[in-house]
Amino acid sequence: MDESPHYRPLYRQVYDYLVRQIADGAWRPAEALPSEQALAEKLRVSQGTVRKALDALAAEKLIDRHQGKGTFVAEHTSERALFRFFRLAEPGGERAVPTSEAESARRRPAKAAELRKLHLQKGAQVVEIRRTRLIGGQPAVHECIILPLAVFPSIDRRQPLPNALYALFQQEYGVNIVSTEEELRADAARREDVRHLKLPLGAPLLQIDRVAIALDGSRVEWRVSRCDTTHLVYAVNLS
């Protein structure tokens, strides 16, 4: 490890090394990392420095630490991915569990806005996924999801797609979603919303514009969700 005063703090160097290892697939989801002592010896740093780096990874939910069992790469199970990234809830805080129907997927050249959002090169191919999500058996969300084909080859040929895509991204493509950027705005139902969400034309709805960011910092998904919040809220816990 480089301890130059002009470089990143030593524990951040250890953190960066571990992130690269996870991103490169050195340890698979749910696989145990080497012990603090083994990592300290390998990297020629103190166990305290390794522990501080692991604490930072745990705070960002990149690893799971289990007392007496060890440290493991965090796994995006379907349930975990849903409850971390799907924020619609019943008023009062009970999380809504969506299911999917009316799904379609096709590949095509990326449009200008998609090139900008996902930092793609001109001429890049994307996969466009459209699906309606049900809550309590009723249509509540219509999603348009844009994925770079180079990152998710042949994903358009998987039928049906799982309810929680981020678990599929990790397990099948080695892509770990670690954060999202979201923009929310109120809007009025358009003709497409009338068809998918059974809303009256002009009815109020919530639009969620989300870009998902992978462990290596790349932008790998642009998702626009049109949501009927007549009986739902967008719930966030801040601490």
- Report d(CA 169, CA 206) in Å as an integer: 26
Rounded to 10 degrees, what is the CA torsion of 223, 227, 229, 234? 0
Query: Is 121 found in the same domain as 192?
Result: yes
In the chain, the number of structural domains is 2
Q: Are residues 65 and 112 in the same domain?
A: no
pLDDT digits (tens, 9 = 90+) for 77-98: 655 655 567 888 888 877 778 8
Q: Are 104 and 207 found together in one domain?
A: yes
Q: Does 193 lie in the same domain as 96? A: yes
Beta-bridge partners for 101: 132
pTM of the full predicted structure? 0.77
Integer Cα distance of 21 and 57 in angstroms: 13
Beta-bridge mates of residue 109: 125
Distance CA 81, CA 184 (A): 20
Asked if residue 106 belongs to a domain, the reply is yes
Q: Which domain holds residue 67?
A: 10-73
Which pLDDT tens digit goes with each residue over 9-56? 888 889 888 888 887 778 888 889 999 999 999 999 999 999 999 998
Residue 119 pLDDT more than 50? Answer: yes
Q: What average pLDDT score do residues 149-162 get?
A: 92
Q: What is the CATH number of the domain that holds 216?
A: 3.40.1410.10
Q: How many CB atoms lie within 10 A of CB 51?
A: 15
Which DSSP string do the residues of 219-232 spell out, in sequence order?
Answer: EEEEEEEEE--SS-
- Tokens matching residue 119: 């930092």
The single residue listed with the structure tokens 């790349």 is: 218
